[in-house]
Amino acid sequence: MRIEAVELRVVELPLRFPFETSFGRQTAKRCILVTAYADGLAGWGEVPVFAAPLYNEETVETAWHVLRDFLIPLLQEPLPHPGEFARRAAHVRRHHMAKAGLEAALWDLYCQAQNLSLKQALGGVRDRIEVGVSLGLEPTVPGLLRRIEAFVDQGYRRVKLKIRPGWDVEVVQAVRRAFPELPLQVDANAAYTLEQTPIFEAMDGLGLLMIEQPLGEADLLGHAHLQRRLRTPLCLDESIVYPQDAHQAIALEACRVVNIKPVRLGGLDAARRTHDLCARQGVPVWCGGMLETGIGRLTNLALASLPNFQLPADLSTSDRYFEEDLIDPPVVLGPDGTIEVPTEAGVAPRVDLRRVERITLRRERFSPRG
């Protein structure tokens, strides 16, 4: 592929409900969409960064800068395969969401040119993905219970609760009493320290699927110590920034499950390598999300079709977050609590350009050759 141009645009979609975690509250999704052009085709990717550097170091402004000044110029020479992009960009430190958004657009071009679905291109094996729903911090426990009941009634197979100090043990106990058979997990987004181990010991008998990222992202030793104290599997998210991080975490026995987000790892190539590494070690993985629009969600669904994605994904339907998504048809939940893996040749056939245009705040086109 010889990339002729890359277009960046900032878009903003209001969320149907505010989404709050230990590092902030969101009422709208502002992100960058990437469109790469080659041979009469347009490939789409998403950079689901936040407005502030709270999940990782990236923001909308930094991602735009890194894409424009460092990543797009790497496409001056023809690209034989999207997997080559990760090697070209390896010298650019971190900024994995920016890399992942551009790489996704290149995968989309490749799939269209080869008349392949992204699932086929990645080596996926599943036609449908078992999914769960992630719930942010709620104002009250009764309100949280009502929301869980509504999602269970819709057919979601698993619920994930966000926790933080002061909103943890008693909340999870209340949910477990109300839903004794519900597959349930919690996510701390690195909000705790090892000194707060008793909080997790108090949750250890509640039959949780996992406890996700309880400690700081750099604290693999702390996670290993905590895992030895618990029967409940620990899952690492923010700690796994490179495939080798998963290797080290497994070797240290710092977790028993790994969350894979392609945008956290730098793209689909790195996500697939992390998947393969965990599979060789017998460690199950599952696919997380970043409140992506349908463009990023379709990419994640294809990734989650790989064989070692053994646990329900955080890839809920379009209407979970948005009144009107950017794809048509939208992502919908089947009666069995699963979502269909896209079968189209790439993501582009489902992008609704009119909707994208309506919510575009900023747009600029760049040539890789300057």
Active site residue 162: yes
**Which helix or strand (DSSP H or E) is residue 19 part of?**
strand 5-21
Is 364 in a helix, a strand, or coil? Answer: strand
Question: Please, what is the Cα angle at 361 between 358 and 365, to 5 degrees?
Answer: 100
Catalytic residue, from 29, 99, 119, 162: name it: 162
Q: What are phi and psi of 128, to 5 degrees?
A: -135, 150
Cα–Cα distance for residue pair 196/324, rounded to 1 Å: 41
CA atoms within 13 A on the CB side of 365: 7
Sheet order of strands, 24-38 included: 41-47, 24-38, 5-21, 360-366
- Active-site annotation holds for 261: yes
Which of 225-228's residues contact partners 24+ apart within 8 Å by CB, and which partners?
Answer: 225/194, 226/194, 226/197, 226/200, 227/253, 227/254, 227/255, 227/256, 228/253
Which residue out of 99, 119, 160, 261 is catalytically annotated? 261
Q: Which residues are part of the catalytic machinery?
A: 162, 261
